[in-house]
Amino acid sequence: MKNICLIVLFFNITFCFSQDVKYVSINDAVQNSKNINLTEKVFLLDQNVNEVFAFEKYESQLPKNYNADQVIFINIKGQLYKRSFSGNINVKWFGSKGDGKNDDVASIQKAVDYLAAFEGGTLFVPKGIYKTSKAIEVRDPFISIIGEGINVTVINCLADGIRLSPYKDVSSAKISELSIRGSNKASTTGLILNNSNFYFLEKLRISNFDIGIKGTTAVNNKIRDFFVGACRKGIVFENGSYFTSITDGIITGCSEIGIEEKGSRLMIQRVDIEQIGTLRNKGYAEGGIAIMCGASTEVRDCHIETTEIGFGLNSPGNVIIDNCFLGSGKYGVKQINNDIINGNYSFSNMRFVNFDTDFYIPKVSIYNISEGCLAYTSQGNQKNLKIVATKELGVLRKLKYNTNRNYEIESNVNTILNNNVTN
């Protein structure tokens, strides 16, 4: 047997560690324990990660309905032992392979359920491709899932990706450093937030789903530093999903819409939405951002390039859209229903490049378009804003740009103040 000796000269003490010690694996200790001595602490090999862990006697009671999982808690000859570790738990301890071939959903779910039994914590998902045949369910608060980076940790989903549904006042958890990749199946979603509050979703790449991220009654969530691509709809929030912010992200290559707001209060800032729309003439008004409810929604500092509509409007509300660049489409801002929309819509510091019509708002009232809204040709030459409205409703206000009116009116609008324009 080969030994390594460490000699501490000051105290004349020598420690010897054997390199040839063979440790019993966790499985062998549980299934064939007759040769295991029940000491206060046992050292066992975790073959999933090829590391030796200490397991100490555990004399407390496990939570109700939670049995020894043979991962963190093991049962040897009727004695319960607990794995000694600090920091996050590793999904590979629970048997996940991350090889892109084996179905890892059961082992990932087992790890999540352990955290749920002990009131939360963080599940670490090291680099690998983790195939999942159904959604990973997070039903309890304070459970975070963190990968090793969007380029190396991939959840390869055959169905939905991750469903967060803790239904608590405060979830206070994080999902980050992951790629969640779908298989282009209808009615699938990459990240689902049902009654999920105070989640921090960041450094994520989500692609190839019907919907990238969907929130239903999801409150005070933060989505930032993200990429969503190759979906039908990028992000959808509905049914009272209040006070959620979407910042510093990219949404690209979606066939219908970038962000859809339905019954929510959203803050959208510094989001790049591009290459939206491949279904023109199929009955759907494609667009970068669709405001379907508009209750206290703000959009600032965004860049939107789409085949059809930059902003689609469908309902009344208090909406502020400021300092956004819209490029290369049919309509910059368009009403997408036939109802009269009464609300306080405010547009300021907008840039419209190469649109057929900049504002198409035939039945919208209380509409503020500031002097900072400018239109340009594809060559970068400034041109008049083209606003289509009606005499009865029309535009409430359009301030002058410099000393000349730099827009044209295609309607019988007579409600433009400060210019006394009647067409």
pLDDT tens, the chain, 423 aa long: 444 443 333 333 333 334 456 789 999 999 887 777 889 999 999 999 999 999 999 999 999 889 999 999 999 999 999 999 999 999 999 999 999 999 999 999 999 999 999 999 999 999 999 999 999 999 999 999 999 999 999 999 999 999 998 766 667 799 999 999 999 999 999 999 998 888 999 999 999 999 999 999 888 999 999 999 999 999 999 887 888 999 999 999 999 999 999 877 899 999 999 999 865 544 455 789 998 876 788 999 999 998 789 999 887 778 899 999 999 888 999 988 777 777 778 889 999 999 999 988 877 666 677 768 889 999 999 888 888 776 555 554 444 444 444 444 444 444 443 333 333
Residues 297 and 402 in one domain: yes
Q: What tokens appear for 349 in the block?
A: 């510091």
Q: Among residues 201, 231, 261, which one ends one of the domains?
A: 231
Residue 390: predicted pLDDT: 66
206 and 106 assigned to the same domain: yes
pLDDT at 336: 83
Residue 376: domain span: 243-423
Q: Are 247 and 223 in contact (CB under 8 A)?
A: yes
Looking at the structure, do residues 422 and 296 belong to the same domain, yes or no? yes
78 HSE (CA, 13 A, CB side): 0
Residue 338 and residue 344: Cα distance in Å, rounded? Answer: 18
pLDDT of residue 20: 56
Judge whether 236 lies within some domain.
Answer: no
Same domain (yes/no): 51, 67: yes
The residues, any chain, with a CB within 8 Å of residue 237's CB and separated by 6 or more, are 214, 215, 216, 218, 244, 260, 261, 262, 264, 266
Distance CA 276, CA 76 (A): 58
- Residue 237 domain-assigned (yes or no): no
| pLDDT for 294 | 66
230-248 in b/e burial notation, b at 16+ Cβ within 10 A? bbbbbbbbbebbbbbebbe
Residue that terminates a domain, selected from 231, 263, 279: 231
Residue 222, token pair as written in the block: 């933060």
**109 lies in some domain:** yes
Residue 14 and residue 70 in one domain: yes
Domain final position from 83, 104, 120: 83
Long-range contacts (CB closer than 8 Å, 24 or more residues apart) made by 182-187: 182/157, 182/207, 182/208, 182/209, 182/210, 182/231, 183/156, 183/157, 183/158, 183/208, 184/208, 184/209, 184/230, 185/158, 185/159, 185/209, 185/210, 186/210
The CA distance from 109 to 115, in Å, is 10
Which helix (H) or strand (E) is 197 found in, with range? none
Assign residue 199 the CATH number of its domain. 2.160.20.10
Question: What single DSSP character describes residue 319?
Answer: E
Amino acid at 179: S
Q: Is residue 169 part of a domain?
A: yes
Domain count, the chain: 3
Q: Is residue 180 part of a domain?
A: yes
Residue 32's pLDDT is: 85
* Of the candidates 158, 221, 156, the residue with the CA atom closest to the CA atom of residue 194: 221
**Cα separation of 421 and 110, whole Å?**
68
Residues 407 and 270 in one domain: yes
CA distance 373 to 350: 4
